[in-house]
Every structure is written in C-alpha cells, then in structure tokens.
Amino acid sequence: MATTILNLPDDELIHPGNRACAGCGLSIIYRIGLKAIGRDTILVVPPSCLTVMQGLYPIAATQLPCLNVTFASTAAAATGVVAALKAQGRENTKVVAWAGDGGTSDIGIQALSGACERGEDFLYICYDNEAYMNTGVQRSGTTPQGVLTTTTPVIGKLQKSKNVPAIMAAHGLNYIATASASYPLDLYDKIKKAMGMPGTKYMHVHTPCPSGWGFDPRYSVKIGKLAVETGIFDLYEIENGEFRLTGPSKKLTPSKLKPVTEYFDTQSRFRALKEDQIASIQAGIHEKWDNY
Amino acid sequence: MGQDNFGKMKSHSEPGPGDGGKTGSWRVKRPIIDLTVCIPAKSGKVACFACWMYCPDGVITRTIPPVIDYEYCKGCEICAEECPVNAIEMVEETQFADKEG
Amino acid sequence: MHVIESGNVAAATGVKLARTQVIAAYPITPQTPLTEKLSEFVSKGQMTAQYIPVESEHSALSVCIAASSTGSRTFTATSANGLLYMSEQVHWASGARLPIVMCVVNRGVGAPWTVWNDHQDSISQRDTGWIQMHACDHQQILDTVLKAFMVAEKVSIPVMVCYDGYLLSHSYMPFEIPKQEDVDRFLPSFSSDCKLDPEHPLNQNTVTLPDVRPDIHGNMSPGYMEIRHNLQQDLICSLDVVKEVEDRFKGIFNRGGSPFIESYLCEDAEYVAVCMGSLSYQLRDVVDQLRNDGQKVGVAGVRLYRPFPNQAVIDAFSGKKGLVIFEKGISYGNQGPLFTDITSALYQVEERPFAHNYILGIGGREIKTQDLLDTFRKSIQSGRKNEIKTEWIGLKL
Ligand SMILES: Cc1ncc(C[n+]2csc(CCOP(=O)(O)OP(=O)(O)O)c2C)c(N)n1
Ligand code: SF4
Ligand code: SF4
Ligand code: SF4
Ligand SMILES: [Mg+2]
C-alpha cells in the first residue's frame, strides 16, 4: 500500500534551524527520506550542501549517527561501516550513503562502482541538484546541456548530462530507482523498499535548488513537478533488472508531455539556451519517450 | 597509560536544533494560515496537510489546526504555493515588526 | 613456533594474531604478498576478519577509517604510489583520531616508475600526524604490528609500520610466531567509547569553525585549532606510551629493546652511523670492520620516526664526536629529513657531535658495504668540515 500524507511517520529526524537555504529541495527529501530510513541507521555523507545542513561542530542537525567523509570516499566509507557492523554482529543497523551529484557522478564514481561491483549492503542516495552547489554552482557530470554555471558561463554547458542510474544499472544492482523532491511520498516508498532489500541499492533524486537554478524558493515543488511532466526527469524503478515507470511518470504518454520550455522558462540557469538547442532537447525527449 | 588521557578532542557533534541560529530571522514574509479556509481546521477532520509534508524545514505541525513555528520558519513560501485551497497568505514581516518590537 | 618466512608473511601473521576485524587493501609491489596472505587467512577461515578487496588505496583507507569509526580494529597496507594515492585519507585518519594500523612496505615513488626500495613514500607522509615505526627484521615486523595496535588504541592515533620493500618484504628469515593466548594477554580486544551507534547518535568530523563554540548544553567546545593542538600534544605524550608498550611486550614475550633507537656498539663509540630500517644491519658489518681497525664506532637505527624521540636522540648522541647519517629519502631542495631532525634535536646540546649526511639506495640502488665503509672512514677523517653539505653515495655520474 502506498504511503499517504496521513500515515507518514511523525518522527522528525532533522532539527529545524539548520543552514540549508529557504525552500531547499534537499531539505524536503532529507526530512522525508529520514522518516523512511529510521533511527537504526548510520549515515555516510561527503562534502556537499548536506554537510553544511548537517550542522557545524559541536551541533548536529541530524539525529542519526553520521560519518562525514572525504569527497571521493563515500561508497568506500559506507563499505567500511557495513563491514564493521558485520564484524561486530550489529547487522540490524542499516547503512545509508547520501551524496550530491558531484560526489556521485564525478569524484566518487570509482568508489561507488567498486562498492556496487562487490555488492556491498547499503543504500546509496544521490541527490541531484545538477551542479556543485556547495562550492558556488560549478558544472558537474549531471549538469544538463545548456545550463549556466560559474564554470560554464556565457554559453552554458556544452555536453549532455551523465546518466548515472544507467551506469548503476550496468553494475546489475538489485534495486535502482529515481525519485523527486516534488513527490515525497513516492520517494518515501522507494526508500522503504530499498531499505528492505539486500546488496547495494541506488537512488537518484531530482532535487530543485532555488539558489543554484535561479528561481524563487516558493516554486521548488512546482519546478520539480514540471521536470517530470515535461518528461525531462522520469520516475522509475529497476528491480532485479526489470525497468518500470512509476507514479506520475507511469501516467504520462508522449502526447501528454508538456513542452520543455515550460520547465526551462522557470529558471534563469537556462537563459542561454538557443532555439535550436531547445528543439534538439525536445526531440531527444520525444525519442526517449517513444522508446518507453 | 590508558585511553582516558588521549583523544579528548574530536569533532563529534551532538544533535540539537538551531545550529544555524533562529532561522525565523531570515524571513521577509510570514506565512499565516487562514483557519476559515484550511481544510482540517475548517472541517475538524484529519485531512490534507500538504503544507506539513512539503515544508522543507519541518516547522508546520500535522495537527488540527496546523501550527507554524515562526522561530525557525525560513519564509520560503512553499507551504503557501502548495496549499490546495490557498489558505496560507504571505504577510510582510514589517507588518509584525511594530507589535513585536 | 619458529618459522622461516618472508617479511610480508611476518606482517600478515601479526595482523592475524591481533584478531583484526576489518582489513581492506589494494595490491602494489612489494606489499602485494602481504595482502594475498591476509585474504588467504580469511578465505581459509584461519581468521574471522571482514576482508574487503577494494578498488583503490584511497578506498582501502576509507574502509578502515569508516570501520574504525564504527568501532572495529582495522588494518591496511600499501607501498609508494599507493600510499600517495591515499594521502588525503592518511591525514583524515589521524585528524579523526582513529587507531588504524597500516604497514608501509617502503618503496621509491614515481616518476619515473620504480618498484624498488627507498623511504621516500613514508617520509613524504611524515607530517600527517601518524605515528611512524620502522622495523629492521622479520621478528620486529611481526612484533611491531602487535605493539602498533596497542599504542594506536591507547592514544587514538594511527600507526604506520614501515619496513623495507624486497630487502625485508621478500627475503626469508627465521622468526618466532608468538602463541595466540600470549598475544590475547598482551592486546585486549578493541573498544571505542565514541563509535557510530544509533543509540548515541554523534555526527563525526563535522565542519569545525576557526573559533571555539558552545555545544547544546552550553559548554564551550574546541575550535579546529584546539583539536589539532590536541593531536600534537597527544603525539608527544605517546612517546611514553610507546615505551610502556615496549616494556609490557618484553614482560610477556621476553624480547625487544629500545623502541626509539636501536643501538649497536654505541656505548663507548665516538662516531655513530645513524639510519632507519634494514640498513642498520648492514652497517653493523661496517662497524665490525672499523672496530677491527681500532675505531670506536657504533650504529644507531632510529625505530620511531614520528613522534620524533628528541630526548632519546640527545641521550644517545650528546658527547659523541661525530654522527654519520645515512638516508634513503630526501626533502628535495634541502637535505635528508632524518639529518634535519637529528641535528635540530642536538641544536640545544652544548657539546654536539658533527653530523654528516649521505643519501643512498634511492630507487633500490645497491648499497655496497665497501661504499659505507669508505664513507664512514672519510667522515671520521674530515670531522667538522663538510658538515652541512648533503652528499649522495653510490651515484654513477
Ligand atoms: C577532494 C576534494 N575536492 C574538492 C572539494 C571541494 N568541494 C566540496 S563540496 C564540492 C561540490 C559538491 O557538489 P555536489 O556533490 O553536487 O553536492 P552539492 O554541493 O551540490 O550539494 C566540492 C567541489 C573537496 N571537499 N574535496
Ligand atoms: S544551494 Fe541549493 S541545495 Fe544547497 S542548500 Fe541552498 S537550495 Fe539547498
Ligand atoms: S495545505 Fe492548506 S489546507 Fe492543507 S493543511 Fe495546510 S493550510 Fe490547511
Ligand atoms: S514551507 Fe517555508 S514558509 Fe512555509 S512554514 Fe515551512 S519554512 Fe515557513
Ligand atoms: Mg550538486
């Protein structure tokens, strides 16, 4: 049974008064995600906006035990926590690595790939705000084509974004899912499901970032929804190799897709996009959807 | 000899609220729930609570009526934007400045 | 039990006897047989550790850091570029105050590629806040691994056990394998009072401010600088712990010596050759020959490089006429690091010996006993002259 707003757990595992920007998409998914993760869990977090949100010594915003680790080491560190718990017979305690897109798709991908290949027993959550936000909005491997960042100024990023879930799928994981900050219940159910499965699980969460994307914080949820409704970011699961669209993406059809400009127009980071670029992105989305 | 004298200083933080201070001070506008419009407040029934779910900072209660903790509410307006019946109005903080000093 | 085995097997045996719980390592010459031996111990059920065949050295130490933070006894090993590749984590492990033990099977660093021995790898990590111990033979390798765990866990500082690649790692020598029950008596199981635990959720290694800041109870907590100062203080104090652990080891196993400087015929010596690692054994032959010629000479092998045993250096060398310091590493642009450390320790001594510095054996260049003999003689003759200049020996220019 799908979770509803009314039966989401009450327990708040992140304290208010943390340093995340107002309207931060990461704050939404972290708050709801921790409800799914539960207290008997050890978190592993590399440098990112989440590090700052976690709190500055000696105060922690998160109520779970958490290991802050170096940028490239997230999945290896999660491996180490799992190994130690096993060595001590504390296997009931679960391990969740929670990293940004830079920490996942760029500097941390070696350790992540190694852990996936070994099948280490933890859930890895990548929150994708599509740039290095913590250091002031530089391009990452998942920054979409055309986006303005401080290292892709003037004309925007030339390359397309990396498809990280597909890279994870190539490792043959038991469970891979995408989710979005705008659909917290879907996120909650997927994390719950992942937490109950053995081996390495990967979740990729689209995470609107008002500060880095250039929009008014009030629209964080709206914009995340638009990404799904335009077919730019799709919600799906790959369970034991079986791909299926889920939730709002399942209800979409190529003819129901909103034009991508509806999404692009909401954010200043897309303002350098040219007509032909938009047309080619739109064509790419239709091609993707025709193949679903 | 013994562990007691060594490793006394480690960057190990304890959970607690307000690491970033009273983030209510970030607010430019304050969300005010109109209890005559808010679904659970009006009907007295457990319903809706979209604002509670989407609030990034978890400062709205899932109670009848929902209550906002202004000490920490950052004023992002997501609650107002996502309320299905537009029960939340954003009011300029300057309006409250006089009364609260 | 006595066996004749390689230095790498001696190290692996120590790791097994220490009942290490989590091992992560990545192969690199000349450390590889040590890693292989450990995976064999685990696969055959001869030890119950979690063995993680990671995809890089950075990850090897990451696994150890995380497992140690979760309260397990952990071990890794590497050499040369492997150590350099994990350097970020080397600093992290000591900053986080984790009692990890790592064997560094000393090898020269690239470029160009070399797989042969010198000390540049561990020397380059000298300032990371780790304890660095050097072993000179197979028995010392095994014993030092056991002592390293004890010291690390008492002072919450990681320890590198360094030994020479090939010269020790791949050579076969007899050594004694202690009984498990004796090791258990020596080394209690590891317990940490601040491990990652949902019952007592702590957020470890959080961003720490330049200044002090009150905690949630209103008590003032240290800033970054206090935390780093504490590491330095504890490193200095760990000198006493290293000594105590050595004595305790001797009490149970009836072997060992000075954990700081291992001296050979130094008591009445006027001139002392100083070095680290297996070279000290080769220098014993040199000293024997010079003694035959009537020279009062000795050898001092520095066994603890960090924290540097300044007082032991002063005690050992003040009153000597001269020191001849042989090194397999260099601080490029300056001089041999051991030379720097020793001369700086002796700066405050009124009657300080002259000190000469020789760099040798870089990238596995053969160290000829005759060269050592000639150099030692030359140094004794030249005395105070030549003091500052660092010379390379065995060069073929
Ligand atoms: C080895 C290393 N290189 C660079 C950095 C600087 N750095 C810290 S966070 C960050 C970007 C993080 O980006 P991402 O993972 O996408 O998380 P976000 O900040 O967007 O939440 C960078 C480059 C670092 N901490 N460590
Ligand atoms: S920069 Fe973006 S992701 Fe980071 S805290 Fe601010 S809104 Fe959140
Ligand atoms: S979202 Fe609006 S209607 Fe729903 S509980 Fe909140 S204020 Fe009331
Ligand atoms: S959603 Fe934003 S404005 Fe509304 S209560 Fe939460 S923090 Fe305040
Ligand atoms: Mg990012």
Closest CA to C297 of C376, C375, C386, C357: C376
Mean of all residue pLDDT scores within chain C: 97
C71: left (phi over 0), alpha (psi -120 to 50) or beta: left
Of the pLDDT bands very low, low, confident and very high (cuts 50, 70, 90), residue B101 is very low
Q: What does the pLDDT average to over B96-101?
A: 65
Best residue among A71, A73, A74, A133 to mutate for probing ligand 1, ranked by most atoms within 8 Å of CB: A71
Q: What is the ipTM of this complex?
A: 0.97
Best of A3, A19, A27, A56 to mutate (most B CBs within 10 Å, chain B): A27
CA of A130 relative to ligand 1 center, distance in Å: 12
Which residues does chain C have within 8 Å of residue B20's beta carbon, measured at their own beta carbons? none
Shortest distance between the Cα of A25 and any Cα of chain B, in A, equals 7
| Residue partners of A196: CB distance under 8 A and separation at least 6 | none
Closest CA to C220 of A62, A55, A58, A19: A58
Atom from ligand 3 closest to the CA of residue B49? 5
Going by DSSP bridges, is the β-strand pair C304-306/B12-15 parallel, antiparallel, or unpaired?
unpaired
Distances (CA, A) of A193 to A5, A41, A182, A189, C133: 17, 15, 19, 6, 48
CA distances from C393 to B71, C120, C281, C359, C367 (A): 72, 16, 18, 6, 9
What whole-number distance in Å separates Cα of residue B43 and Cα of residue B28? 31
Q: How far is CA A285 from CA A270, A277, C46, C192, C234, in A?
A: 17, 12, 56, 53, 60
Taking only the tens place, the pLDDT of each residue in C104-140 is 999 999 999 999 999 999 999 999 999 999 999 999 9
How crowded is residue A242: how many other Cβ atoms within 10 Å of its Cβ? 7
Determine the Cα–Cα distance for residues C260 and C246; give it in Å rounded to an integer.
Answer: 10
What distance in Å separates the CA atoms of residue A131 and residue A184, rounded to the nearest whole number?
Answer: 22
C168 and C32, same domain (yes or no)? yes
Question: How would residue C60 be classed by pLDDT, with cut points 50, 70 and 90?
Answer: very high
The residue of C48, C94, C197, C203 whose CB has the most chain A CBs within 10 angstroms, and thus the best one to mutate to test that interface, is: C203
d(CA A114, CA A118): 6
- pLDDT of the residue at B98: 62
- Amino acid at residue number A125: I
The answer to whether residue C233 is domain-embedded is no
Contact criterion met (CB < 8 Å) for B16 and C241? no
Find, in chain B, the residue whose alpha carbon is nearest to that of A56.
B19
C358 alpha-carbon distance from chain centroid: 21
Place of tokens 């060069």: C395
Whether C211 is covered by a domain: the verdict is: no
Domain check: are C33 and C175 in the same one? yes
pLDDT digits (tens, 9 = 90+) for C260-300: 999 999 999 999 999 999 999 999 999 999 999 999 999 99
Q: In 10 A of CB C207, how many CB atoms?
A: 16
Choose one of C186, C213, C243: the last residue of a domain: C186
- With H, G, I as helix, E, B as strand and everything else as coil, classify residue A66: strand
Identify the H or E element spanning B4. Answer: none
On whether both C277 and C156 belong to a single domain, the answer is no
Peptide bond into A58 cis (omega under 30): yes
Distance in Å, CA A248 to ligand 2 centroid: 25
- Best mutation site among B30, B36, B37, B48 for ligand 3, i.e. most ligand atoms within 8 A of its Cβ? B48
Asked if the structure places residue C42 within a domain, the reply is: yes
Look at the block and give the residue holding tokens 């004796």: C182
Through-space distance between the first and last CA atoms of chain C, rounded to whole angstroms: 48
**What is the reported pLDDT for B97?**
76
User: Which of the listed residues C154, C186, C218 is the one where a domain comes to its end?
Assistant: C186
- Measure A58 CA to ligand 1 centroid, in angstroms: 22
Looking up residue C175, the CATH number of its domain turns out to be: 3.40.50.970
Tens digit of each residue's pLDDT (9 = 90 or more) over C295-322: 999 999 999 999 999 999 999 999 999 9
Q: Which amino acids bring their CB within 6 angstroms of ligand 4?
A: B 31, 55, 57, 59-60, 68, 73-79
Cβ contact, residue pair B57, A25, below 8 Å: no
Could you give the CA distance from residue C93 to residue C158 in angstroms, rounded to a whole number? 7
Distance CA A174, CA C353 (A): 68
Set of chain B residues whose Cβ sits within 8 Å of the Cβ of A51: none
**Interface test with chain A among B12, B30, B53, B59, by most A beta carbons within 10 Å:** B53
pLDDT at residue number B1 = 44
Looking at ligand 3, which residue's alpha carbon is closest to its atom 5?
Answer: B49
Average pLDDT over residues C50-76: 98
Query: Does ligand 2 have an atom closer than 6 angstroms to the CB of A68?
Result: no
Same domain, C50 and C178: yes
**Backbone φ and ψ of C257, nearest 5°:** -155, -135
In a domain, C376, yes or no: yes
Report whether residue A49 contacts ligand 1, using a CB cutoff of 6 Å: yes
Q: Which two tokens stand for residue B67?
A: 């209550």
Q: How many residues does chain C have?
A: 397
Residues with Cβ within 8 Å of C111's Cβ and at least 6 positions away in sequence, in order, are none
Residue C234 lies in a domain: no
Range of the domain at C325: 261-392
CB contact under 8 A, C206 and A85: no
Residue B38 CA to its chain's centroid (Å) = 17
Cis status, amide bond into C111, omega within 30 of 0: yes
pLDDT at B4: 65
- The alpha carbon of residue A159 is apart from the nearest alpha carbon of chain C, in Å, by 28
Q: Which amino acid is at C336?
A: G
What CA–CA distance (Å, rounded) separates C62 from C64?
A: 5
For A10, other C-beta atoms within 10 Å of its C-beta total 9
CATH code at position C372: 3.40.50.920
Q: Which residues of C fall within a CB distance of 8 Å from B16?
A: 215-216
CB-based contact C63 A79, cutoff 8 Å: yes
The pLDDT value recorded for residue A158 is 96
Which tokens hold the place of C157? 């500082």
Distance of CA B39 from the midpoint of ligand 2 (Å): 31
The length of chain B is 101
Q: How confident is the model at residue C385 (pLDDT cuts 50, 70, 90)?
A: confident
pLDDT in tens, C173-214: 999 999 999 999 999 999 998 999 999 999 999 999 999 999
* pLDDT number for residue B2: 46
Instruction: Find out whether A95 and A103 touch, Cβ atoms under 8 Å.
Output: no
User: Which is nearest to C123 in space by CA: C143, C137, C109?
Assistant: C109
* Residues paired with C74 in a beta bridge: C22
CA distances from C325 to A90, C312, C328, C341 (A): 51, 16, 10, 11
Half-sphere exposure of A115 (CA within 13 A, CB side): 35
H/E segment holding residue A120: none
Model confidence at B5, pLDDT cuts 50, 70, 90, reads confident
Which residue in C has a C-alpha nearest to residue A92's C-alpha?
C198
Residue C194 inside a domain? The answer is: no
Closest C-alpha residue for ligand 1 atom 3: A71
The number of folded domains in chain C is: 2
- The domains found in chain B, sorted by start residue, are 20-100 (3.30.70.20)
pLDDT above 60 (res C171): yes
Q: Which residues contact B21 (CB under 8 A, 6 or more apart)?
A: A17
φ/ψ bin of A130: left (φ > 0), alpha (ψ from -120 to 50), beta (otherwise): left
Judge contact between A214 and A268, C-beta under 8 A.
Answer: yes
The 3-state DSSP class for residue A132 equals strand
Q: Using omega within 30 degrees of 0 as the cis cutoff, is the peptide bond preceding A165 cis?
A: no
Say whether pLDDT at C225 is over 60.
Answer: yes
Residue C235 lies in a domain: no
- Domains of chain A (ranges plus CATH)? 25-291 (3.40.50.970)
- Looking at the complex, report in whole angstroms how far the Cα of residue C202 sits from the nearest Cα belonging to chain B: 5
Q: Which residues of A touch B77 (CB under 8 A)?
A: 23, 216-218
Judge if C307 and C180 occupy the same domain. no
A113: enclosing H helix or E strand: helix A109-118
Q: Which chain C residue has its CA at the smallest distance from B9's CA? A: C227
Residue C202 within a domain: no
Please identify, among C159, C186, C213, the residue that sits at the C-terminal boundary of a domain.
C186
Angle of CA points C378, C381, C384, to nearest 5°: 105
Neighbours of chain C (3+ CB pairs under 8 A): A, B
Give Cα separations from C236 to C150, C275, C310 (angstroms).
Answer: 17, 22, 10
B66 CA from centroid of ligand 3 (Å) = 7
Distance B66 CA to ligand 4 centre (A): 12
Closest CA to C316 of C331, C302, C332: C302
Mean of the pLDDT values across residues C73-79? 98
Instruction: Spell out the SS3 assignment of chain C.
Output: CEEEEEHHHHHHHHHHHCCCCEEECCCCCCCHHHHHHHHHHHHCCCCCCEEECCCCHHHHHHHHHHHHHCCCCEEEEECHHHHHHCHHHHHHHHHCCCCCEEEEEECCCCCCCCCCCCCHHHHHCHHHCCEEEECCCHHHHHHHHHHHHHHHHHHCCCEEEEEECCCCCCCEEEEECCCHHHHHHHCCCCCCCCCCCCCCCCEECCECCCCCEECCCCCEECCHHHHHHHHHHHHHHHHHHHHHHHHHHHHHHCCCCCCCEEEECCCCCCEEEEECCCHHHHHHHHHHHHHHCCCCEEEEEECEEECCCHHHHHHHHCCCCEEEEEECCCCCCCCCHHHHHHHHHHCCCCCCCEEEEEECCHHHCCCCHHHHHHHHHHHHHHCCCCCCCEEECCCCC
* A180 closest CA partner among A240, A230, A141: A230
Gap between the Cα atoms of C28 and C182, Å rounded: 32
Residue of B9, B48, B54, B59 to mutate, interface with A, max A Cβ within 10 Å: B54
Quote the CA–CA distance of C193 and C97 in Å, as a whole number: 12
**Main-chain phi, psi angles of C335, to 5 degrees:** -145, -175
**What is the residue with the minimal CA distance to atom 6 of ligand 4?**
B55
- Same structural domain, C161 and C299: no
Q: Is A205 in the pocket of ligand 2 (CB under 6 A)?
A: no
Tokens of C281: 């054994």
Low-confidence ranges of chain A (pLDDT < 70): none
Count of B-C CB contacts under 8 Å: 60
> With 80 as the cut, is the pLDDT of residue B100 above it?
no
**Which of A207-211, B97-101, C42-46, C178-182 comes out lowest in average pLDDT?**
B97-101
Q: How far apart are CA A44 and CA A69, in angstroms?
A: 7
Share of chain C above pLDDT 90, in %: 97
Cβ-Cβ contacts under 8 Å, C22 against chain A: 80, 83-84, 87
User: Helices then strands (H, E): number in chain B?
Assistant: 4, 3
Q: Which residues of B touch A (CB under 8 A)?
A: 11-23, 26, 46-50, 52-54, 56-59, 62, 69, 71-72, 74-78, 80-82
Q: Measured between alpha carbons, how far is C311 from C346 in angstroms, rounded to an integer?
A: 9
| Record: contact C206-B2, CB cut-off 8 A | no
